[in-house]
């Protein structure tokens, strides 16, 4: 993150329930359903060179996450997309990160929350993308998490819902405490799933392999990278991946709005050598997000 200021104590303003308000005044009472019961969905969006990358796709996912959680956002998608742009403008952000969030309010404090108001906020902060391919290509180290991605009938796995991040933070903290950058999570079947905030890809014999997004988020970056690979005639297969298969994969990288395309050198006992395909897609993605009109259609 670009700044070490606490997120509740910053200058400027953000969008909260329909209007731009002073940053520090965007408060929420401690008796808020979203805080106690996880009735909260959010987005992570990036702006590059003054253009919000895949804005409509992120807004659509926010609404879909809310729908899955039974929450009716009291705005249109167009209004939330406009709010996202306004939040950037309010902070004069041209290269940064944007966080739209929707959550249930304080009208009820119990499991049942039918009559709670749905609040929406959008805040933006500076987060330039430092792109040093040489440094990045060394790759990060992941450990294998002890937490498993839940089954689709155990949790609303296609929603970007706050509650699903409990096991991500636990996994990430455990990995960091042992000197790793992040963790690879398996799913409820023991198949390879994703990292704690990013999807995962592997290379074998010049082709890309990535897990089927059937119990985790089908990331917007994941879709962009698949399209970019196909545009270069790199074959892409989405299939179930067993952990032991990692032995036979030559390259690995993770993808996400925050992670962009980040090469991986190690996952537990498995080693990878970030190579030509990873580098190509890293560069293609860096160009894609900065293109005036993104070529990639999701």
**Which residues in this chain contact ligand PMP in the complex, by CB under 6 A?**
44, 168, 194, 197-199, 216-217, 219-222, 255-257
CB of 110 to ligand PMP, least distance (A): 28
| Closest among 252, 256, 281, 248 to 267, alpha carbons compared | 252
Joined together, the tokens standing for residue 55 give 């804005």
Comparing every residue's Cβ against ligand PMP, the nearest one is 219
CB burial of residue 277 (10 Å; 0-12, 13-18, 19+): buried
Residue closer to ligand PMP by CB (options 105, 219) is 219
Distance CA 247, CA 241 (A): 12
Residue closer to ligand PMP by CB (options 197, 274) is 197
CB of 20 to ligand PMP, least distance (A): 25
User: CB neighbours (10 Å) of residue 273?
Assistant: 13
Residue closer to ligand PMP by CB (options 23, 43) is 43
- Catalytic status, residue 160: yes
Active-site option among 148, 160, 172, 223: 160
Helix axes 55-68, 77-91, angle to 10 degrees: 120
CB of 139 to ligand PMP, least distance (A): 19
Distance CA 199, CA 201 (A): 7
Joined together, the tokens standing for residue 226 give 């698949």
CB of 290 to ligand PMP, least distance (A): 17
| Closest among 150, 186, 187, 160 to 267, alpha carbons compared | 186
Active-site amino acid positions: 160
């Amino acid at each position: 993150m670009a700044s070490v200021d606490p997120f509740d104590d910053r200058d400027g303003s953000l969008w909260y329930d329909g209007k731009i308000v002073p940053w520090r005044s965007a408060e929420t009472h401690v008796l808020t359903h979203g805080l106690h019961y996880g009735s909260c969905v959010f987005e992570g969006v990036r702006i590059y060179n003054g253009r919000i990358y895949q804005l409509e796709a992120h807004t659509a996912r926010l609404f879909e996450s809310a729908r899955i959680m039974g929450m009716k956002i009291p705005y249109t998608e167009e209004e939330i997309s406009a709010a996202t742009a306004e939040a950037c403008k309010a902070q004069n952000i041209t290269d940064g990160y944007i966080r739209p969030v929707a959550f249930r309010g304080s009208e009820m404090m119990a499991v049942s929350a039918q009559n709670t108001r749905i609040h929406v906020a959008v805040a933006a902060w500076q987060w330039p993308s430092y792109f040093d391919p040489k440094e990045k290509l060394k790759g990060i180290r992941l450990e294998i998490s002890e937490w498993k991605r839940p089954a689709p009938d155990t949790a609303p796995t296609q929603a970007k819902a706050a509650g699903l991040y409990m096991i991500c933070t636990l996994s990430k903290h455990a990995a960091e405490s042992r000197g790793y950058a992040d963790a690879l999570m398996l799913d409820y079947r023991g198949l390879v799933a994703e990292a704690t905030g990013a999807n995962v890809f592997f290379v074998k014999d010049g082709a890309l392999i990535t897990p089927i997004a059937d119990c985790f988020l089908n990331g917007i970056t994941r879709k962009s990278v698949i399209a970019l690979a196909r545009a270069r005639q790199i074959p892409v297969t989405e299939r179930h991946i067993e952990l032991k298969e990692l032995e036979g994969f030559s390259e690995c990288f993770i993808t996400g709005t925050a992670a962009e395309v980040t090469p991986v050198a190690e996952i537990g006992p498995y080693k990878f050598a970030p190579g030509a395909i990873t580098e190509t897609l890293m560069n293609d993605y860096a160009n894609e997000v900065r293109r005036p009109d993104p070529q990639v259609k999701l």
